[in-house]
Structure 1
Amino acid sequence: MTTSISSFLSPSDVLLDVRSPDKLLLLRDLARHAAPSTGLSSDVIVTELMKREQLGSTGMGGGVAIPHARYLGLKKPFGLVARLKPAVDFEAIDNLPVDLVFVLLVPAAAEGDHLNILAAVSRRMRSREVTQKLRVIQDPNIFYRLIAAEPEKR
């Protein structure tokens, strides 16, 4: 079953040209943005994201990172996407800095859903055609429509 990105990402959770000096401060800023929509405190959000980062960077290469974690008390999956200017060192697998970050927060009980959501975002963010367009789009609504679009069936 394919999960639709639009089911957990809203247009108001697209942030363009975010500035941050490093990964920790970036995740703190993004957690502050996510907190009101999720009912979680920004401290809880960033703590769990950093715990996941300590297991291994979520920087998947090609300038993309998908920090993610599971949360007790979270009712439904939540996504937040940010384009960074300038890029930030995320300790990615290819050692390149990251300029596209898709944060995923999922309920602790969502076993299979967590993997489906992560797979949907990963597939979308692995498309070089998509990420090249995301790097130049200036309108957050167009950015949202591109990232949330259903991939074409082959």
Structure 2
Amino acid sequence: MELASILAPSAVKVISTVSSKKRLFQDLGDIAFDCYGINSEDAFSALSERENLGPTGVGRGVALPHARLAGVTEVTGCFVRVEKPFDFDAVDRQPVDLIFALFAPEDSGVDHLKALALVSRSMRDASICAKLRANTDTAALHALLTDNLSNKAA
């Protein structure tokens, strides 16, 4: 699986501040609509419902919200770097500033899990996270994500 096929360059954003998890999910829904045509309200609802099952803040400033949606035909992703970390109720109670969201078809099993595992493994890499935090250019962030994360899939 190649991350470049999941993450469109336009789905990488830098946001100065996020006031809440709810606001972040609204922003992710808007990005999903703009980049992939996913209904933004459905994306927001699905992310919120998934988050209610358990936190997707995996620690060290990283969150991996994800959801399955009717009408989505392939796994897609959105990446947001927040300049001012915010409380996400992460497992380590640390504020979050790197968010990689995944949207998958409602009936996807293996592809969704493979994408989530790929992103999760790579976002645990401290050197990748440091490079992501050191950049504000979305093209550079996309290149870092797709080069580093795709290479780890092999």
TM-score, normalising length: structure 2: 0.92
The one-letter amino acid paired with 1:60 is V
The alpha-carbon distance between structure 1 residues 134 and 127, as it changes in their structure 2 partners (threshold 3 A), is: same
List per-residue Cα deviations over 1:15-55 (Å, max 9, x = no partner): 01342111111111121121133333211101010111001
Any stretches of 5+ residues in structure 1 without a counterpart? none
The whole-number CA distance in structure 1 between the counterparts of 2:152 and 2:70 is 34
Tell me what 1:120 maps to.
118
1:39 partnered with 2:69: no
- Structure 1 consecutive aligned stretches of length 4 or more whose deviation exceeds 4 Å: none
Structure 1 equivalent of residue 104 of structure 2: 106
What does residue 151 of structure 2 align with? Answer: 151
Question: 1:42-53 alignment to 2 at 5 Å?
Answer: 42-53=40-51
Question: Would you say the 8 A contact 2:62–2:98 is kept in 1?
Answer: yes
**Structure 2 unaligned runs (5+)?**
none
Residue 84 (structure 1) aligned with residue 69 (structure 2): no
Q: How many Å separate the matches in 1 of 2:82 and 2:153?
A: 30
CA distance, structure 2, for counterparts of residue 145 and residue 84 of structure 1: 18
Report the counterpart of residue 57 of structure 2 in structure 1: 59
Aligned residues: 152
Output the CA distance in 1 between the equivalents of 2:152 and 2:76: 24
SS at 1:13's partner residue?
A: strand
Correspondence for 2:10 = 12
Identity between Structure 1 and Structure 2 (%): 37
2:133 corresponds to: 135
RMSD: 1.6
Residues 18, 82 of structure 1: 8 Å contact kept: no
Name the CA distance, whole Å, in 2 between partners of 1:152 and 1:119: 11
The offset of 1:121, in angstroms, is 0.6
Per-residue deviation, 1:61: 0.1
CA contact (8 A) 1:59 1:66 kept: yes
Question: Amino acid of the residue matched to residue 29 of structure 1?
Answer: D
Give the TM-score taking structure 1 as reference length.
0.92
